[in-house]
Amino acid sequence: MPQKKKQIAETNTITQKNEQPIEHFVVGIGASAGGLDALQEFFDNIPSNTGITYCILQHLSPNFKSLMDELLSRHTQMKITTAIDGEQLEPNRIYLNPNESSIIIKNGKFNYVPKEKRGTLNLPIDLFFHSLANEFQEKSIAVILSGTGTDGSRGIKTIKEVGGTIMVQDPQSAQFDGMPNSAISTGLAEYVNTPAGLALELIKFPGKPSFMRNVNIGGSATETEFIFGKILDEISKVAGVDFKQYKNSTLVRRLEKRMSVLNISGISDYFEIVKKNEEERQNLLKDFFIGVTNFFRDKAAFDVIIETILPEIFKDKNSSDTIRFWSVGCATGEEAYSLAIILDE
């Protein structure tokens, strides 16, 4: 098996999927320099009974004692604690990351992850976002607030892929715009606003209606299912792809996301927008086409390549022979680079 390079590549992949049903939203909030004011403004506009869990990820020195819990407690009635290794996440709570370790979520619990050695790059927000997406799927929400650097801009891609939501502070309102600008540059942000504006959108999520139960139920088509099919027809005209061959549950979740962003509750109202608005057709198409991809994604397939196929290919070759490999539909390159890594090793 590939060793060092594969291990490096896999630090940016999501871990084994948690099969436990998720009943509430979990929000990961990345904040760095200038983040305190943004967080205070954000929680000034969040009630204490939303049923949502909030996890704040900061860049902390191991030797620095954070006063975030004390400073933030003046702006919320929710309980604020530092996440404990092995602790189960609870709704209506605010968790802070510890200064000595990074944190991830696994099986609905916090897990401590040792920080990299001095001189190496630590990306605690990205690390947490990857695990958040894996655990909570479409119930995961990423919020990027004021900060320098690019931390968080890779993790939001994973959250977007599983149907989660991306919110970013408007750089004009941020003391430090590095992290917001980096997140916005990915093209994945669905909400860009002041911290107060983001909070007001966020608290609508628990009560947003879903039409999932009325789609793909079998038997005669419901009115909802009929309109859903009409929307797919409109998008198929743009893409030249028959989306009715795709998995309905995935398409429904991503369509609901677009309705949520536009604050539309009725699928018939959304259909009227799709028919008339080219920009919205493109937005929905872009969401439909989001692909879940990461390094060494299909482990069983790569094991076969490594253990069976490559030895056979190289069996009668010498060092001067040329060998060509094709990676089909490699999206953003993870599959192609995974193949290159195992060939090199």
- Of 21 and 295, the one with more pLDDT: 295
Query: Residue 338 CB: number of other CB atoms within 10 A?
Result: 26
Q: Is residue 90 classed as helix, strand or coil in its secondary structure?
A: coil
Residue 323 CA: distances (Å) to CA of 301, 303, 313, 314, 316: 20, 20, 9, 9, 12
pLDDT at 1: 47
Q: 66 and 60 in contact (C-beta within 8 Å)?
A: yes
pLDDT, tens digit, 9 for 90 and up, residues 106-152: 999 999 998 876 556 789 999 999 999 999 988 999 999 999 999 99
Q: Where are the beta strands (DSSP E) in 33-108?
A: 53-57, 79-82, 93-96, 101-106
Measured CA to CA, the distance from residue 276 to residue 270 in angstroms comes to 10
Question: What is the pLDDT at residue 13?
Answer: 39
**Which structure tokens are listed for 181?**
């600008």
Question: 218-241 pLDDT, tens per residue?
Answer: 555 578 888 888 999 999 888 888
Residue 87: what pLDDT? 96
pTM score over 0.85: no
Kindly report, residue by residue over 60-119, the tens digit of the pLDDT.
Answer: 876 777 788 889 999 999 999 999 999 999 999 999 999 889 999 999 999 999 887 655
Beta carbons of 142 and 165 less than 8 angstroms apart: yes
Q: Which residues contact 133 (CB under 8 A, 6 or more apart)?
A: 14, 140, 155, 158, 159, 161, 162, 164
